[in-house]
């Protein structure tokens, strides 16, 4: 089951530094809410905010989230935070730790559970963060992407960071077989089907090659074993084999 946001502690803030388009603010907000992030801060947005364009692009996210806070400087926007990460794809020639989004997600969950407030800086769509903004951060975040093309739009960058934070505190199993209430077949039921199926194959002559027969049976059993059959599916397969056998007997002269 997916862990609620409270189990991850305090969610990180998303700080957009001088975003250029209202639509990008809206799509970034949409990406944030997809991942359970709601603390959106803007530093000197170029387009007026709030606006209908941003609201429409957010597909309702800005209406659900707490009011967006607007600041005159990056320093003011991060003043209440205890850890700040700066996203950048460019070499800034600064001595700072460089982390992947996954590492930032894990560290942000760890900090949030300890009651510490974290923020992630995102720069202008065209040029990214200025060096003075990066200097305010404790570490830099760089996304491992195709080195020949690392360009991301603002919402994509926000979604990557938000997703890794959400996944770091998530307990959803990597794989689930939804059986809609049907019980998995027991081994006894599965082996019973093997016997029925293989008997029918012997009778129709499919397993007539004695040398190949053991390997063919093993392959068939492995195939059925991988299918993760339910009790109902086993009953259905018994019925299929029985019907085919009956039909073959009726056709005999």
Tokens of 206: 């499919």
The pLDDT score that the predictor gives to residue 87 is 94
DSSP label at residue 132: H
* pLDDT recorded at residue 31: 98
Pairing type for strands 83-87 and 118-122 reads parallel
What is the rounded CA–CA span in Å between residue 233 and residue 16? 53
Supply angle C-alpha 119, 5, 85, rounded to 5.
Answer: 15
How many helices and strands, by DSSP H and E, does the chain display? 10, 7
Backbone angles phi, psi at 21, to 5 degrees: -125, 140
What per-residue confidence (pLDDT) applies to 6?
Answer: 61
Residue tagged 């056709």 (tokens): 251
Give the pLDDT confidence score for residue 79 in this predicted structure. Answer: 97
Residue 30, pLDDT score: 98
pTM summary value: 0.77
Sequence-distant (≥ 6) Cβ neighbours of residue 226 within 8 angstroms: none
A 10 A CB-CB count for 5 gives 17
127-139 exposure pattern, b = at least 16 Cβ within 10 A, e = fewer: ebbeeebbebbeb
Strands 69-71 and 40-43: parallel
- Asked if residue 143 lies in contact with residue 110, where contact means CB atoms within 8 angstroms, the answer is no
| Beta strands 40-43; 83-87: pairing state | unpaired
Q: Enumerate residue ranges in the chain where pLDDT < 50.
A: 1-4
Rounded Cα distance between 174 and 196, Å, is: 34
Residue 127's pLDDT is what?
A: 86
């Amino acid at each position: 089951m997916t862990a609620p946001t409270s189990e991850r502690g305090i969610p990180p803030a998303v700080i957009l530094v001088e975003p250029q388009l209202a639509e990008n603010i809206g799509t970034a907000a949409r990406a944030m809410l997809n991942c359970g992030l709601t603390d959106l801060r803007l530093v000197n947005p170029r387009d007026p905010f709030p606006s209908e364009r941003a609201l429409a692009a957010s597909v309702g996210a800005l209406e659900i989230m707490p009011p967006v806070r607007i600041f005159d400087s990056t320093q003011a926007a991060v003043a209440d935070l205890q850890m700040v990460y700066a996203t950048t794809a460019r070499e800034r020639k600064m001595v700072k730790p460089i982390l992947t989004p996954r590492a930032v997600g894990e560290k942000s969950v760890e900090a949030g559970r300890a009651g510490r407030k974290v923020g992630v800086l995102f720069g202008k769509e065209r040029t990214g963060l200025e060096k003075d903004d990066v200097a305010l951060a404790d570490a830099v975040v760089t996304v491992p992407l195709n080195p020949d093309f690392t360009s991301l739009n603002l919402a994509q960058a926000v979604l990557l960071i938000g997703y890794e934070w959400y996944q770091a505190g998530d307990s959803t199993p990597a794989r689930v077989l939804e059986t809609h209430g049907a019980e998995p077949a027991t081994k006894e039921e599965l082996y019973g089907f093997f016997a029925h199926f293989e008997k029918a194959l012997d009778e129709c002559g499919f397993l007539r090659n004695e040398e190949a027969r053991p390997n063919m049976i093993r392959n068939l059993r492995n195939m059925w074993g991988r299918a993760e059959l339910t009790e109902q599916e086993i009953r259905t397969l018994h019925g299929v084999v029985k019907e085919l056998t009956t039909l073959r007997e009726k056709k005999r002269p």
